[in-house]
A and B are shown apart, each in its own frame.
Chain A
Amino acid sequence: MAEQGNGGRSEGPADKAREEFFSEAQELVDGLGRDLLTLDSGVKSGRVDPELINDVFRAVHTLKGLSGIFGATMMTGVSHELEDVLDELRLGRMEVSAPVLDVVFRAVELYGRLLSAERGDGPAPEAEVEALLMALGGLTGRGAGAEASPVAQYELDPGLLGVLTEYEEHRLRSSIQSGLNLFKLRVQFPLATIDTALDDLKAKARPLGEIITYLPTGGGSDADAIELEILMASREKVATVKRELESPNLHIEEVARRHVGPGPNTSAPMRPSVSPTPIPSFEAEPGTALAQLHSHTPGTSIAPPPEGAKDVSLRSVSQTVRVDIRKLDHLMNIVGELAIVRTSLGAMAERLRQRPELREVSQELHRVHRAFDRHLQQMQNGILEVRMVPLAQAFDKLARIVRQLSRELDKPVNLVITGAETELDKLLVEELSDPLMHMIRNAIDHGIETRNERAEVGKPSMGTIALNAFQKGNQVVLEVEDDGRGMAQSLLISSAIRKGILTAEEAREMSPREILSLVFRPGFTTREEVNETSGRGVGMDVVKTNIARLGGIVDLSSEEGIGTKVTITLPITLAIISVLFVEVCGRSYAMPLTSVEEAIAFDSSMVRVVDGRDVMTVRGTTLPICSLAKLFGHPPASFPSHGFVAIASVGNRRLGFVVDRLVGQQDIVIKALGRTLRNVRGFAGATELGDQRVTLVLDVSALVDEVLAAPGDSRVRAHGEGRAS
């Protein structure tokens, strides 16, 4: 038994590996979810991939081991029982059926919560664990008796047989019993590239059959190469296999059968999944045998994996690296800092240019600056690209929820997903998880009608929820659409009136669109009680706020009796910039940090007038300054007695913006102002900081241009601008 926990002692090995544990465990659980969904459709279509079952087994097996090391006893308990069930499944002693999968699905959901509990993010789901353990216990029936061993009929090297794991042996037996041919492939690969070479081979072999094991022979001509003996089962004949796979470094031969007596073979395996059928004679064509098996098998048959390279790409080891998004954020911040460095470089280059005796150095510095700028841009784009992940990450979880809710509420629902490969910034994808989940819950709970209701109105008994994602220009659009009952205007209005959100009079003057928008109001819900499935009062208003914070837009359309569609539009990459928030006459503005060199304290006594310009002295140099209040015409349009100067630097010019307060630094999502405001100079955009308040982002370089370019008295000119109408 492993030692539990760590008490109050200093960090032991388990503590050091703890973060890694959470990361790997989460990945395993996510993979489990995906694999189960694939198995589920396999069960429905009658063809289950044995390798997939084995993958699920191994994932649970690993989780068991890990949870044991880190003292997550409930996880270990669940994994132990689950592993037993999965072992029965993979060894063919239990049939893979929908009820069995249901229990496994429950376990996967529970894993998620158990992990959260381990992290301290939530309560331990003790009652559910108890219930699940009982359910799992009920599944492990007494397995079938010992399987016959037809392996002896094949001329297989005992050395090879001796290194097969129990599972691999089972796969071998199973393949033989299915009447498949066995092939031995001998291949040599250079060690350096063996991973990709192997992936290629696997991809080619997939449609032909199943690879049972890889054995390094220790032979081979080359110290840097490795020779492998691969055992493969296939229903194809040797000619086909040779044609598909043979290559200069790959040699194929069929494993010969020792002579067997005529007639059907001895014991039929007691596999519940196959109805009693005499094992077909080995003299017969393998293809026929398989066909016979299939035709006699009512339930699920465990057959060789279905064709299609698609499966391979999903499960082959990919060239990916697991990255903590905080590291990417850190990198982005560094890029931001480098941008400031680049600006300073540019300024330096400019100053040098003024000195004719330093001409050569100045030119070189200019070149360096340009190169730096180029590479920085590339790096920024590169990092942004790394952050791009396919939406599938968020969609997978949703499929599970649909399945779960659909069963809970007894509303059969088909989830149709398109565009899962559409990519979006990882942060956006993660933040979308919750809103999407909420919208799907709504769709199933409130949107899709009960079976009876649907029958009454002539809709197909299975409800449909369509989840679509696609790119539109430099935005990504996500749609959640259901074919449910839609939103009844009358219901929305009456509920809103009841909640006190609206008066009857106001309701009368509202357009249908506005009435639909009522769902976005805080505290709105059309159910009297917020029930379990729809979440505890998480309304569409929270969804809207969250999406807005990400720089996105939410829209809703609905037709009574037909369905509802929620559309989310998001920018592909976040135009995130670091800004300095400042306050002037009670108003907030944001200044992009890339343009701000520094901020220092200000006192009106520091102001001097030189050549009609306001200036102050900073560390011996003269700095032109201007009052943001004056620039924007905020009364009183003058310098405050006390305040701060945000020193902006654009190219080789500097200008100090005098403000009342420095509020703080923050990363924000910047949005463009509309065309209507395009003629307004001085603003780069705006940002929304939750609760609907909009803060304008200054276009620092335009303002600097404006103030410094003006000849003579800049003060009067700035003031006059404010009056234009």
Chain B
Amino acid sequence: MRKVLVVEDSSTTRAFVRAILEGDAFMKRLGPCEVSEASSGFEAMRLLPRGPYQLIITDINMGDINGLELIRFVRKSEHHKTTPLLIISTQNTERDVERGLTLGADGYVPKPFSEGELTDACARALGAARES
């Protein structure tokens, strides 16, 4: 079962992402998922040791520990150095998205996104991982 960590401070967006990952369309394409939710960078760090996760989806603009700092931390960690990592962000933070990719994220999905768009992005990130 694929473990996915979703890091996002909006509870609605988390619920939305969870619904997509646990939905039929996603399952048919990429198999079943076990979704863990973190509402902040800190919570993500609490959950990481409970992994390892096969996919991490994170927002950038969060208080305290922002998404960039989380990405850097994740890429420096033992277990998640190469875990596929997606950024969900809004158009307003282009420069931040660039930084995220530089720091090691595998892709980004601009908000608002549809079920299809998120699924495609996940497929790409996971596919790339398999190939590497």
Contacts and interface: CB of A to CB of B under 8 A. Distances in A.
Main secondary structure of the interface of B (DSSP, over half): helix
B45 A191 contact: yes
Given A12-B19, A69-B16, 8 more contacts: A12-B115, A24-B10, A69-B112, A163-B68, A165-B61, A165-B99, A216-B69, A216-B73
A586 B3 CA distance: 67
B95 interface: yes
Given A64-B90, A215-B65, A218-B73, A24 B12 contact: yes
Q: Which 5 A-B pairs have the closest CB atoms?
A: A68-B112, A13-B19, A17-B15, A2-B112, A3-B114
Contacts of A192: 46
B11 A218 contact: no
B33 interface: no
Contact of A61 (B90, B103, B117): B90
User: Which of B13, B64, B69, B114: most chain A Cβ within 10 A?
Assistant: B69
B10 A62 contact: yes
A216 B45 contact: yes
8 contacts: A13-B20, A58-B61, A66-B10, A166-B95, A194-B42, A214-B65, A215-B65, A226-B42
B23 interface: yes
A21 interface: yes
A215 B71 CA distance: 11
A81 interface: no
Contacts of B65: 214-216, 228
B81 to A, nearest CB: 11
Contacts of B112: 2, 65-69, 76
Contact of A69 (B13, B41, B42): B13
Contacts of A64: 90, 111
Contacts of B23: 12-13
Interface string A19-56: 01101110000000000000000000000000000000
Contact of B96 (A14, A21, A166, A194): A166
A236 B103 CA distance: 34
A195 B42 CA distance: 8
Contacts of B69: 163, 213-216
Interface residues of A, number: 45
B31 to A, nearest CB: 17
A163 B66 contact: yes
A16 B61 contact: no
Nearest to A168: B66
Interface in B9-55: 9-13, 15-16, 19-20, 23, 41-42, 45-46, 49
A583 interface: no
A164 interface: yes
Contacts, number: 123
A323 interface: no
Interface string B83-107: 0000000101101100100110000
A83 B13 CA distance: 18
Interface in A289-344: none
Interface string A60-88: 01101111110000001000000100010
A455 interface: no
Contact of B11 (A3, A24, A67): A24
Contacts of B11: 20, 23-24
B60 interface: yes
B12 A66 contact: yes
B16 A165 contact: no
B96 A165 contact: yes
A618 interface: no
Contacts of A65: 10, 13, 90, 111-112
A192 B42 CA distance: 10
B119 to A, nearest CB: 10
A69 B60 CA distance: 18
A198 interface: yes
Given A13-B16, A20-B11, A226-B45, A162 B103 contact: yes
Contact of B46 (A25, A76, A165, A191): A191
B116 A213 contact: no
User: Which of A3, A162, A216: most chain B Cβ within 10 A?
Assistant: A216
A13 B112 CA distance: 13
Interface string A137-174: 00000000000000000000001001111111000000
Nearest to A76: B112
B68 A164 contact: yes
A457 interface: no
B84 to A, nearest CB: 20
Contacts of B45: 191, 216, 226
Given A17-B19, A65-B112, A163 B103 contact: yes
Nearest to A322: B11
A223 interface: yes
A2 B20 CA distance: 14
Interface in A66-112: 66-69, 76, 83, 87
B103 A166 contact: no
Given A2-B114, A87-B92, A214 B64 contact: yes
User: Which of A12, A83, A192: most chain B Cβ within 10 A?
Assistant: A12
B72 interface: yes
A3 B25 CA distance: 15
Contacts of B102: 162
B16 A17 contact: yes
B46 to A, nearest CB: 5
A195 B64 CA distance: 11
A213 B115 contact: no
A162 B76 CA distance: 15
Contact of B92 (A13, A61, A66, A213): A61
B76 A218 contact: yes
Nearest to B78: A218
A218 B116 contact: no
A67 B90 CA distance: 13
A216 B111 CA distance: 26
A13 B19 CA distance: 5
Nearest to B68: A163
Contacts of B16: 13-14, 17, 69
User: Which of B12, B15, B61, B93: most chain A Cβ within 10 A?
Assistant: B12
A83 B20 contact: no
Contact of B60 (A66, A165, A218): A165
B66 A165 contact: yes
Nearest to A14: B16
A644 to B, nearest CB: 48
Contacts of B63: 58
A83 B92 contact: yes
A12 B13 CA distance: 14
Nearest to A87: B92
Nearest to A226: B45
Contacts of B116: 3
A460 B16 CA distance: 54
Nearest to A162: B99
Given A162-B99, A226-B45, A213 B66 contact: yes
Contacts of A163: 66, 68-69, 71-72, 99, 103
A65 B114 CA distance: 12
Contacts of B76: 218
B6 to A, nearest CB: 13
A166 B93 contact: yes
Contacts of A20: 11-12, 15
Contacts of B68: 162-165
A66 B11 CA distance: 10
B76 to A, nearest CB: 4
